[in-house]
Structure 1
């Protein structure tokens, strides 16, 4: 499936915004006694590099090196044929091409006299890359996950603006779902086209086609739809991921109740505090609806979204923004809904991130 066109959108995420993130990491590195910082990226774990550069290298293993006072070095095994394009969407970093990107990083570390190097999620750094680094530099690789987390957890206005933009695309796309359709594929036929044409870079659709039988969303394009079904859309825009879930019913009375619950959630979601326990905040959301289960996702490390809290455990940490997925019982029927939460609260934290 063709992805939306990846561009550098200065008006949405400026080079100055990205450099400010890099500088905040440099400050945390200094406090932790680190001479340099490394972030590994691959096809599914690109979020760390995206946060620090505004660039999403979906299709490549690569390394990003942060040295205080210098432009980041993005070292990749991709050929120079794509180098000009990478520079156009990664303007704050130096781009270097090598069949051994780890060795190139090691050479830069050696020339800078680095000894202690923090690595985001060190246990996930491929052994081959670590060996390449060691072949060129006498450095100690230390786990820098907590150092990165202390910076990543603080929201900034540019990222929150992108979250709101991505969520607007999700809502527009979900508005095309036809609850009168008999099959799942028909119901969501226009959904991805609308999202892609609006600029979505990634778009994943999951459906729970018959909520009276199974409430787990999955890829059921050919399934026949039951009385009630749910659609979950996960979408990336400019490297920022959001997720929303909506329930639809052919039962007019139930659909009216579902829409009432969705309106109550839409009014409450911007004020939900993703750092505090969410269970008490969600109870009593709407008359006649009982909270069955929930979980909260947020950006963490190299993952764009990962579960950070649920009905079984509190968040226990700061998050740059949260995405809630919840199940309610409404008149004996399970209703799935979810979306970004706390966006009206999080901008207050940007002063701390400055």
Structure 2
């Protein structure tokens, strides 16, 4: 039976009404995964999971080495498992196949073994081989790892995920045996503020922070409900209606990825970004780096070559709001504070 007919229909990304903040954050991370992922905070029932799944459906397929558990890239040694590198070194032939960009859902009750993989010590001792059972991080390599209710996940596991997302590698050590494999993925976490925030040191490790609010305007709410009903009535027809827009967006993302390296940002803009971070008491340099990366990704997405003040204005709240120190006496929203500081330093109205 054809696989396609079994697949669960996915809501088209371009048909989603509103939630511009979240959509932009996701697109920019897909263009440049080094931004460091997105933390999405919002009320229940605001379509967080729907938007993430819709994004994956939009991404182009990837070439992988056939039967490799790590989705190894056949052309980039940085994204290859040791087995594939060994084969290439010995001039052995590797078979190439194409798959959809993987999206792995991390279940809330997942154990560290399930996430990172396990080493079969008995087999390693009796057969002298490194017997490794890959986990979810292996499956997520070169794709997206989605953690719903990330604020309810064990802090230690969040740490493991963030370490792998930042380094692009997963290392499992047990009884003196160590296994390392590529685990380069875009980490997307979502949560409901009512269930508590993440610890500041974990929150800071997410590249961007998007807030989703329940839509208040009645006409927009009606439109969202109608879109959903139309989709559920006839998913195939609904998807076909948006196919042209979906293809255009996919092409924009592919082009932006190609052009990313050629985007420039003037020194005085970088200096002003750092001034903003300094004035807002942002710890470390992650905020400065993410802001310039996100601005470049936006420029690439819009078919331009150079970052302007307006680009920085568009993305700076998403990059910095979660890095500000929490002040219980603060009367102003952290996002507004970031924009106020931006306007002052950039002399921008």
Query: What interval of TM-score do these two structures reach, taking the shorter chain for normalisation?
Result: under 0.3
Whichever structure has more strand as a proportion of its residues is 1
Pick 1 or 2: higher relative contact order, CA cutoff 8 A, min separation 6. 2
TM-score normalised by structure 1 residue count: 0.23
Whichever structure has more helix as a proportion of its residues is 2
TM-score normalised by structure 2 residue count: 0.23
